[in-house]
Amino acid sequence: MPPGAGPDSHAIAIAAERRWAWIVIAIIVLLVGMMVVTGLHWSAMPPSRVETVDVKTLHLKGEFVESNLGTSVAADGKVTVRLIGQQYSFEPQCIVVPAGVPVTFRGTATDTIHGFVVGRTNANTMLIPGFVSTFTTTFTTPGEQLMPCHEYCGTGHEAMWARVQVLPAAEFTARAKPGERLSCVQR
Ligand code: CUA
């Protein structure tokens, strides 16, 4: 008989395994709880539906040609920001949005996976080549926000960021012209 083995060793092993099982269950419950809290309390948004776009013709035709990037205001007042991410910049580099009005972002990437978050708001998405990422959010406070790339995309990743100017709604409306694409990039 090996040292330590006795009539009780089987019962001790079962008790130890049961103890570890409860610890593992507690960890799983904690992780699921964290997902629920971040989802509800921080308004983290679920991934958008799958919408594809052809990377090869992105620059040539369709929604993401350069002249169509930036902020547009539709006839019914809906505000849409279109942008692309590429190594190592966003286009446009400076985005204008109104405060207190729902803004829909539509973005994609040309080369590899990028992503962005706008300051400490819940505007946060990945940009994936071949797919259109979209979400709608409302910026409550006017001011300038930094918008860094948050997916490691290569050696220039840490230098990849844009700015978002949140303007008071009246100031935004004064600058928005029908059919035009707004940005705050210096020209
Ligand atoms: Cu683009 Cu990191």
Q: What is the rounded distance in angstroms from the CA atom of residue 186 to the CA atom of residue 150?
A: 25
C-beta 151 within 6 A of ligand 1: yes
| For ligand 1, atom 1: residue with the closest CA | 114
Judged by DSSP in three states, 61 sits in: coil
CA atoms lying within 13 Å on the CB side of residue 105: 30
Place of tokens 């983290």: 44
Closest atom, ligand 1, to C-alpha of 113: 1
In Å, how far are 8, 32, 91, 93, 123 from 149, measured between CA atoms? 58, 27, 12, 12, 12
pTM here?
Answer: 0.76
pLDDT truncated to tens, each residue of the chain (187 aa)?
565 556 688 999 999 999 999 999 999 999 999 988 877 776 666 555 788 899 999 888 899 999 999 999 988 889 999 999 999 999 999 999 999 999 999 999 999 999 999 998 989 999 999 999 999 999 999 999 999 999 999 999 999 999 999 999 999 988 888 778 888 876 5
